[in-house]
A and B are shown apart, each in its own frame.
Chain A
Amino acid sequence: MTTDPIETLDADPLGLAPQVSRELRPCASYTLRVNGFERPVTDAWIGESLLYVLRERLGLAGAKDGCEQGECGACSVQVDGQLVAGCLVPAALAADSEINTVEGLSSGGGASDVQQALAASGAVQCGYCTPGLAMAVHDLLQRNHRPTEVEARQALCGNLCRCTGYRGVLAAVQTVADARAQEAEEAEAAVAAAAVAEEAPAEQPAAPAAEAAPTEAPAAVEPEPAVEPPVYADADAWIEHVPQPPAEPAPVPAQAPAPAEQPYGDGAGAYDTGVYDTSALTAAQPSIPAQAVDDQVYYQPQGYPEQPYQATPAHGTYVPTGYPDGHQQQNGYDTGYDAPVYEPTPAHGTPLPGTAHDGTPPHGTPYADPHPHGAPAEGGAPAGVPYGATPAHGIRLPEDDHAS
């Protein structure tokens, strides 16, 4: 572990280690149980948040860091089955808790029904809030299978989205709730039919129903009884103050590799999420070379002409030729202008060649013409204000005289 470049880098994110002694920066080693996998964390400062440890030490970058103050919900994860702000959980104290992150939602291989509904209903624009919202919606639908709009709004009020206006998210909640209810109904009908066929009472409707609805491992739908569902499905179960264990079994998908042979964790320099099995990727799409996790080879799509990749010029790059008349063909398609000779943008204030203008002077440089508006009527700038600087508010400017 100590030879892991990520580990050594992150153990000292601010480069403070040489100056700050152990006493000022007490550290701890512990093991976190994330999405059913044991993830060791060594020598981490005790003040590190779960969000930081997940992202920077364990490479689980799904939860986002929006504010680090509990306000935005972008870091939402579940700890012991409860939705919490990952940025406000001391990671060292979550050591023997069950942690579920947004990566666990898609552990079945594809996006979960919640994630698909969010994408389909336009709840994703920049996407920064989306992992948090996916966890919040997932958490809501675990506790409450048929949330009303008000209940959904209350459950999601801790997740800020600056882009979408929340309508799409609320629609996604209803979509998933409806789909799951229908699935459960169908499963129940199938069970009932089977029971009638066998002329035997359906004793364990749960097991076949769960088989019939294998949406995704962690959020397997509990079949609803046909009666009116309670507002909080677990309301009667919650009598004790002891935190309830997570509603569902540890979300280790059956087809996922066992913790012992998990393909990540050794990740020398790799930035992997621990969920995507690259061998599965290779198997599914044999025509695309798998992105090897530990040699940083960029994937070169086939079908494009073999040629060195020519980067798009950076914004603001100086293009001396502009739009010429006889622009040429390049790379097999029409670029619209000649292959430019890229030159870096000159630093601010550098005189441009060929222009009469000397370039913008740095801020605060006195103007060459001390009286661009003509000499001030009342004897120039007050003492102490170097001419050229913006005068303090309330000082009469020459223009004021014209105005009055």
Chain B
Amino acid sequence: MLPASLDEAVDALAAAPAAVPVAGATDLMEAVNAGRLRPAALVGLGRITELRGWRYEDGGTAVLGAGLTHARMDRPDFAALIPALADAARTAGPPQVRNVGTLGGNIVTAAPAGDTLPVLTALEATVTLARSGGTREVPVSHLLTGLDPVRPGELLTWVRVPLLHAPQVFLKATGRSGPARATASVALVLDPARRAVRCAVGAVAPVPLRPLEAEAWVAGCIDWDGSREIDPVATAAFGEYVAAACVPDNYGAEGAWEAVTEGPTAAAVRLRRTVSVLARRALGRALK
């Protein structure tokens, strides 16, 4: 069924708790075609036009609809608002997928290689979950880590993102030059008001990781009042710092939880190199 408004949709979900909400269906139909999912009923969200745009809220916040497609987020007007999210949306699959794949679907799927997720994590976004008769607000990191997951009958409706009016960068490493899922990605945003650098590394772990110590350290290296310059040596060190913080020594090892005695695995060395280059470049571009 195709409800035309949010209220209709949450009521439909309340009436049929086994029904599956469908936004762009790019993740959902992949699972259905592969035989991993047999939906009992479908509630299409594509006709809920209010979720396909965004609005502004006091306090410098943009409220993004869950139904914003990747193709829409890639357009110049959106890219001027939240550049890193536009960059992430631009690389999230081929045009056929970006034309229909949505921000909400990307968050709810919570795939390790979900491209908007490190950006939302770095931006410390919060999401609104609506059910019949109420809503609640959850930080996106709580949703992704499973601390506070989406409950049955709930719809992800809005994503609140602070407008920082400062450079932000999203970089992604993939296995081929065409559209592909990330082997590692880095989102980095500057928050001049709080004199902070926030960084999140995607695709190296089940959820995006925040290298908090590296962020705090590098924020201290930046001349916030002046030209926001930084010593290139510090930029390189930041890359190494982020990589070491996000890729454990035993990355890719057989028994991943056993203590490693022989130094980092080859996979860890390779991935750290990737992450450190991404983080170094991201910082360099943000401060340029």
The yes or no verdict on A and B being binding partners is yes
Residues of A bordering B, CB below 8 Å = 23-26, 46-47, 49, 68-71, 73, 76, 79, 82-85, 87-90, 92-93, 95-96, 136, 154-155, 157-159, 235, 238, 240-243
Q: Which of A89, A92, A155, A241 contacts B65 (CB 8 A)?
A: A241
Q: Is the CB of B33 within 8 A of A241?
A: no
Is the pair B29, A90 in contact by a Cβ cutoff of 8 Å?
Answer: yes
| Chain B, Cβ-Cβ closest to A239 | B77
Whether A155 touches B95, Cβ cut-off 8 Å, given contacts A24-B38, A46-B41, is yes
Interface contact A84-B99, CB-CB below 8 Å: yes
Instruction: Check B33 against A158 for contact (C-beta < 8 Å).
Output: no
- B42 cross-chain contacts in A, Cβ below 8 A: 46, 90, 92-93
Of A68, A69, A93, the residue contacting B25 (CB under 8 A) is: A93
Expressed in whole angstroms, the Cα–Cα distance for A154 and B26 within the complex equals 19
Report how far A89 CA is from B23 CA in the complex, Å: 10
Question: CB-CB < 8 A to A158: which residues of B?
Answer: 93-97, 179
Q: Chain B contacts of A47 at CB under 8 A?
A: 32, 37-39
> Cα distance A90–B165 when bound, in Å?
39
Residues on A with C-beta less than 8 A from B49 are 241-242
In the complex, what distance in Å separates the CA atom of A93 from the CA atom of B65?
A: 20
**What's the Cα separation between A1 and B40 when bound, in Å?**
25
Name the residue on B nearest A65 (C-beta).
B33
* Residue on A nearest B180 in the bound complex, by CB: A71
The interface of chain B, by Cβ under 8 A from chain A, is: 2, 22, 24-26, 28-30, 32-34, 37-42, 44, 46, 49, 52-54, 65, 68, 71-72, 75-76, 93-97, 99-100, 178-179
Residues of A within 8 A of B2 (CB): 93, 95-96
- Which B residues are in CB contact (< 8 Å) with A23? 40
Evaluate contact between B97 and A241: CB separation under 8 angstroms: no
Q: How far is the CA of A377 from the CA of B93 in the complex (A)?
A: 59
Q: Which one of A26, A92, A157, A240 lies within 8 Å of B94 (CB-CB)?
A: A157
Q: List the 10 closest pairs (A to B, CB-CB), nearest first.
A: A158-B94, A241-B53, A68-B33, A93-B44, A241-B52, A88-B29, A85-B96, A47-B32, A82-B99, A158-B96
CA distance A89 to B24 in the complex (A): 8
User: Which residue in B54, B71, B96 is a CB contact (below 8 Å) of A76?
Assistant: B96
> A93 with B96: in contact, given A157-B179, A238-B75 (CB under 8 Å)?
no
Bound together, the chains give a CA A68 to CA B32 distance in angstroms of: 10
B-side contacts of A93, CB under 8 Å? 2, 22, 25, 42, 44, 46
CB atoms of B38 and A88 under 8 A apart: no
Asked if B99 and A83 make an inter-chain contact with CB atoms under 8 angstroms apart, the answer reads yes
Q: Would you call B26 and A70 a contact (CB within 8 A)?
A: yes
Bound-complex Cα distance A173 to B197 (A): 44
A26-B40, A83-B95 are known; give 18 further A-B pairs, CB within 8 A.
A26-B41, A47-B38, A69-B34, A70-B26, A76-B96, A82-B71, A84-B99, A85-B96, A88-B33, A88-B96, A90-B25, A90-B28, A90-B29, A90-B42, A136-B96, A158-B95, A241-B53, A241-B54
Given the known inter-chain contacts A49-B29, A93-B25, please indicate yes or no for A242 contacting B94, CB distance below 8 A: no
